[in-house]
Amino acid sequence: MKSRAKIAPHVYALADSSFKSLSQDGKNQSVIISGESGAGKTEATKLVLQYMAEMSGQSSAIEQQLLQANPIIEAFGNAKTVRNNNSSRFGKWIEIMFDSKFHIHGGRLDNYLLEKSRIVEQGSFM
């Protein structure tokens, strides 16, 4: 069996490690999900949120609201690019708040605009 340090990170292993550090050590945790366009960042985020809800022992309305808000917010900031028909123009910060029993009791979703201008058509050459 390979050690965890020698294999590529797995979304559930990262979520589990984060939740265990939060619940056992009481330390705030961050999970950064990054990658190329179409790499599965949105899906990985959903899996982490679902895992956190499962580990907390409850599936809350808050978790569902965070998951359901994501596609709506993306619809306002996505644009067609050469590489992707639905490319996001912003980054997301999702905060999950836990109570003393490590049940989800709150959340916050913030967006950060990554680009302020976009070329919408190619200019003519002389």
Looking at per-residue confidence, does 40 or 113 come out higher? 40
Delineate the domains of the chain, giving CATH numbers in brackets: 4-113 (3.40.850.10)
pLDDT per position as a tens digit, 43-90: 888 888 888 888 887 666 777 777 777 666 666 655 566 666 656 666
Q: How confident is the model at residue 18 (pLDDT cuts 50, 70, 90)?
A: very high
User: What CA–CA distance (Å, rounded) separates 104 from 53?
Assistant: 7
pTM for the whole thing? 0.69
Mean residue pLDDT of the chain comes to: 77
Contact by Cβ (8 Å): 61, 55: no
